[in-house]
Amino acid sequence: MLMLALGDSITFGYGATDPQRSYPQMLRQHFARNQRVSLHVQAKPGWTSRQLNKSLADVPACIFDEAELVTLMIGGNDLLKSAPFLIQGKPERIAQVCERVQSEVEEIVGRANRPYNTFAIATLYNPFPNFDLAEQITLQFNDMIRRVAIRNKLRIVEVETLFRGNEATFVEHYRNGQFRDIRIVRNPIHPTDDGHRALYLGFAKVLQKPMLSRQRRKISRQKRRA
């Protein structure tokens, strides 16, 4: 079975103390308990939704066609690059960012989604929970992600809920949960090992049931042929 993980630095594994502790690798290990699973990670640090979408043109079509599991977590860098709008208090500009990201995410889903795969998309956690404007923007962004998921019949991983109240443990270099905590290095943005584990468990929960159902149908077809 092939698993395709799409995203940015979080999907790439930033914050994990070992590559095997990143959430895509833990997901691969989870589903590899009963079958052989290959993992293709299409993610790089700093990627925005547009950069991820553009990169998919270089992915061989067979990857999309053969992937039975697809995960997508993107948008954090889009919001970070809109930081000046946060500081200036211009929420209307954030609405424009959400519109643009929605267009890119819809294209990403269109490229990677297949009738026979199981596709899970994640909402974003807010690493600055004590900054009201960041809260509002994260909620607005995640509502957009939910609309995309519903329209395309994707599984939703409510990462926002998973991280809520656990930021000090789940976010690397967490300080006060304020936007002013941003630094040139050691930014409080990426998940810790515990944060990656929470992401893994969230994805596993929404992917496990449809995968089991698919395996049962496959076994049933094999028995009928026999």
Instruction: Report the CATH number that the domain containing residue 140 is assigned in CATH.
Output: 3.40.50.1110
- Number of Cβ atoms within 10 Å of the Cβ of 136: 14
| Share of residues in the chain with pLDDT > 70 (%) | 89
pLDDT of residue 217 exceeding 80: no
Mean pLDDT of 134-142: 91
Which pLDDT value is given to residue 14? 98
- Find residue 39's DSSP bridge partners: 3
Mean pLDDT of 161-185: 92
Which pLDDT value is given to residue 34? 85
Question: Which of the residue ranges 36-40, 114-118, 182-186, 209-213 would you say has the lowest mean pLDDT?
Answer: 209-213
Give all strands (DSSP E) within 54-192, no chain letters.
67-73, 118-122, 155-157
pLDDT of residue 219 exceeding 50: no
Alpha-carbon Rg for the chain in angstroms: 18
List the end-to-end C-alpha distance of the chain, in Å, as a whole number.
23
Which pLDDT value is given to residue 94? 78
Tens-digit pLDDT profile for residues 43-89: 999 999 999 999 999 999 999 999 999 999 999 999 988 777 656 66
As a whole number of angstroms, the distance between CA 6 and CA 24 comes to 9
- Which of 142, 10, 143 lies closest to 71 in space, CA to CA? 10
Tens-digit pLDDT profile for residues 181-208: 887 788 899 999 999 999 999 999 999 9
Which pLDDT value is given to residue 136? 87
The total of structural domains in the chain comes to 1
Which pLDDT value is given to residue 96? 85
What's the whole-model pTM score? 0.91
Q: By three-state DSSP, how is residue 123 classified?
A: coil
Structural domain containing residue 129: 2-225
Which pLDDT value is given to residue 221? 47
- Number of Cβ atoms within 10 Å of the Cβ of 96: 12
pLDDT of residue 19 exceeding 90: yes
Which pLDDT value is given to residue 215? 54
Mean pLDDT over all residues of the chain?
91
